[in-house]
Amino acid sequence: MRSGIFLKIFLGFWLATIAIVGSSMLVNQYFDDQPRQEHPDSDGDRRPPPRFVLNLLYQIQHQSPEEVAEFVATLESEHNLQVYLLKRGEGEILGKAVPPAVAEVADRLSHRRGRAYLRQGDKRYFAHRVRDSQQGNLRVVLEFQADRRGFINALIEHLWLRILLALLVSGLVCYGLSRFMTRRLAQLQQAANRIAGGDLEARLDVRDKGGDETDQLARDFNSMAGQLQARMEAQRQLLSDISHELRSPLARLRVALALAQDAPDQGARYLERMERETERLEELIQQLLSAHQEQRELDSHIDLVGLLKNLCQDASFEGKAEGTTARLDTGLEQAVVASTGDLLHRCFENILRNGLRHTAPGSVVTAGILRIDHQYRIEIEDRGPGLPETELNRIFDEFYRVDTARSREDGGHGLGLSIARRAIELHGGTIRAENTGSGLRVTVSLPMSN
């Protein structure tokens, strides 16, 4: 992460910032190097003069030349400026050399213009025309020097130092911004590595308020991790259940084989038992394969009316010993749905056999087909004891049995309804179970074929 997206974001932000700041500096430097020219009629800075300037003008008008000179000296030392007193025909009356900028701003004064301003480089000039009772008309010019000290002065004077400071500040800001933007991605990478290492408890923190897209990504990751954990736990449970289911018939086979070896005269009896256990193993393996086959394309069609009629006839034949029968009640002549292979055949066969196994002796297991909107609803209802409400959803789980001992006596492995659920889901339908008060009803919904 550090050498990937973090570096790309950091360099992208930093280079963009350098380009913007560098361009601004070069433009400023270019214009700072150009000589500043003021229009001779421009008043420039029209801000009112400071109070000490007004005080100087008052001193010139009302004090003697010696007192004015003393006041000017004090003013220059206190305010870091230069004062020039110019008189036409006599020059600077304080005996100072007159810089060109001072002469330029002084020449802007006239009988119609009492003030003038000028900027050149880092200096500002203020000129004011004043009448002295002793000296006559005077032009007062103040030269202000910007107060620059230490590091600020060095920044102003040296372009390379400004560039270095801009690089440092922009680099720190872009680094912090890049770290902030990639922090959640780094956490996501760490959590993904933990899950890859087998730690399925790894989760990301999610802000309840003020979240952004990274929080939504964290929620999706946590949901994915939770589903993965549930699937892995279900897989471990499945392997445990399979090993348990296979262990029992194998153990009985082993015992029957040992007894047959110890009592050869009863070998036929034990061979019959071994054949029965072998058939149970074969049935269990076939059901496992059916429960875990991959998604297949629905490339054929099947008529549910004809399918359920045949299955009810087969179920009635199997239930003769107990006096139980299965009957189809529907007003539809056809109910065609998309399918593939014999998935739906095994699905409804398992549901009907489950109903026959638990319905009361001498009762009828009914099957019905209804058309609702663009779906067919198939209801198969027995006359058994029903189920506890907490078990209604779990009966579709693999190897789940409400009564373990009874299910094994009946030959069930807890796979029939799980096969039915998976087959219905592969067809885009739903399956659920509910108590009716007089038995259990399994309801299947399947989309109609186009």
d(CA 280, CA 288): 12
Chain region(s) in the chain for CATH 3.30.450.160: 51-147
DSSP type of residue 3: I
CATH superfamily of 296-447: Histidine kinase-like ATPase, C-terminal domain (3.30.565.10)
Q: Could you tell me if 132 and 138 are in contact, meaning their C-beta atoms sit under 8 angstroms apart?
A: yes
d(CA 98, CA 327): 123
Cβ burial of 65 (10 Å; 0-12, 13-18, 19+) is middle
DSSP type of residue 110: B
d(CA 300, CA 345): 13
369-372 contacts at long range (C-beta below 8 A, 24 or more positions apart): 369/304, 369/305, 369/308, 369/328, 369/330, 369/332, 369/335, 370/330, 370/332, 371/332, 371/335, 371/448
d(CA 443, CA 427): 15
Chain region(s) in the chain for CATH 1.10.287: 213-289
d(CA 241, CA 235): 10
List CB contacts of 346: < 8 A, sequence separation 6 or more.
290, 419, 420, 423
DSSP E strand boundaries for 321-374: 325-329, 336-339, 364-372
Which class does domain 213-289 fall in? mainly alpha
Q: 137 forms bridges with which residues in the sheet?
A: 131
The reported pTM is 0.44
d(CA 310, CA 321): 19
The pLDDT of residue 76:
82
Helix%, strand%, coil% for the chain, nearest 5: 55, 20, 25
In Å, the largest CA–CA distance within the chain is: 156
How far the first Cα of the chain sits from its last, in Å, is 50
The phi-psi region of residue 274 (left if phi > 0; otherwise alpha if psi is between -120 and 50; otherwise beta) is: alpha
| Pair of tokens at residue 53 | 């300037």
The pLDDT of residue 34:
46
Torsion of CA 191, 195, 201, 207, to 10 degrees: 30
Chain region(s) in the chain for CATH 3.30.565.10: 296-447
- Main-chain phi, psi angles of 190, to 5 degrees: -65, -45
Handedness of CA 188, 190, 191, 192 (dihedral sign): positive
DSSP type of residue 27: H
3-state secondary structure of 335: coil
Token look-up 């009966």 returns 395
d(CA 81, CA 73): 10
DSSP type of residue 305: H
Q: How many CA atoms lie within 13 A of 306 on its CB side?
A: 6
Total H helices, total E strands in the chain:
12, 12
Residue 95 neighbours by CB distance under 10 Å: 8
Q: Write out the chain's pLDDT in tens, 450 residues.
A: 445 666 667 677 777 777 777 666 666 655 555 444 444 444 444 455 677 778 788 888 887 888 888 888 888 888 888 888 888 777 888 888 888 888 888 888 876 777 888 877 678 888 888 876 565 678 888 888 755 555 565 555 566 777 777 777 777 777 777 777 777 778 888 888 888 888 888 888 887 776 667 778 888 888 888 888 887 887 776 677 667 667 767 777 787 788 888 877 777 777 887 887 787 777 767 766 655 555 556 778 899 999 999 999 988 888 887 889 999 999 999 999 988 777 788 889 888 988 898 899 999 999 999 999 899 999 999 998 888 888 887 777 766 666 543 344 444 445 667 778 888 888 889 999 999 888 999 999 999 987
d(CA 378, CA 372): 11
List CB contacts of 291: < 8 A, sequence separation 6 or more.
398, 415, 418, 419, 422
CATH fold, domain 51-147, is Beta-Lactamase (3.30.450)
